[in-house]
Amino acid sequence: MDLQLKGKRVLVTGSSAGLGEAIARLLAAEGAEVIVHGRHEQRAATVRDSINKGGGKASYVLGDLSFDAGADEVAAAALAGGPVAILVNNAGAYQPKPWLQVSVADWQNSYNVNVLAYVRMIHRLLPGMKKLGWGRMIQIGSSGGIEPFALQPDYLAATAARHNLTVSLARELKGTGITSNTVAPGPMLVENTRNMLLGMAGQFGWGNDWADIERNAVEQFVHNDVGRFGKPEEVAAVVAFLTSPSADYITGALLRVDGGHTRSV
């Protein structure tokens, strides 16, 4: 399928590694001009260079989205090359703490990093999209925002807020040609998740071998109908579809990519 992304400029936040990197790479392969975002120059530059060497078109911007000045820097650098038609809000952070170890300060920081950072970029890029008369606002959510568990309650609550703001934004964008949607992955096997599982293995008796750790983690902690962790490329494929004109009639939606992890309609 031709996703008709050639010439469209896309900013993917948090795309110097993990899920964001997979999204950036796929959109570039589909012809979009991708702006890689991160906080560490070497990592962002490495992704940019790899995309360009592979025949895609990419640049990078740096900045911390957890405060206004950092978001200003990222937006200004992204818009310097022309209007941005697609924003994929992916950057975020979490730590697997149980309830009573999550302080009020942790809750405040989590909301800032995982919700307000998204809002900052929407505020800065939406005016330009309205001038284009077409655009995409895509938030990366989580199955945990739909069906929360005990660990990391601050992050899960923040993720649920992402889902909610997406629908509110879709109502705001009525008639503009811009859509707003959430893609909610289940547990993904990215570097952060792998490191988290390795740290939890001893506590839950998952063994020492990685194959045993992954299998036991799926069975005991993140059960799903497919029987494995998701791949970043599988989420990227859904994001890519939502960016295309073929998805013009989809807005205010939450698309789960979780292997059947979420037990609800």
In the numeric block, which tokens belong to residue 232? 């970043």
Got the DSSP string for 200-254? Answer: HHHHHT--SSHHHHHHHHHHHTS--SS-S-B-HHHHHHHHHHHHSGGGTT--S-E
Q: What pLDDT, on a 0 to 100 scale, did the predictor assign at position 61?
A: 98
* Catalytic residue (one of 60, 94, 118, 155): 155
- Alpha-carbon distance of 17 to 191, in angstroms, equals 8
In tens, the pLDDT along 106-115 reads 999 999 999 9
Q: Is 118 annotated as catalytic?
A: no
pLDDT, greater one: 264 or 59 = 59
Distance CA 105, CA 241 (A): 38
Output the pTM of the full model: 0.93
- For residue 26, which of 194, 202, 241 has the smallest C-alpha distance? 241
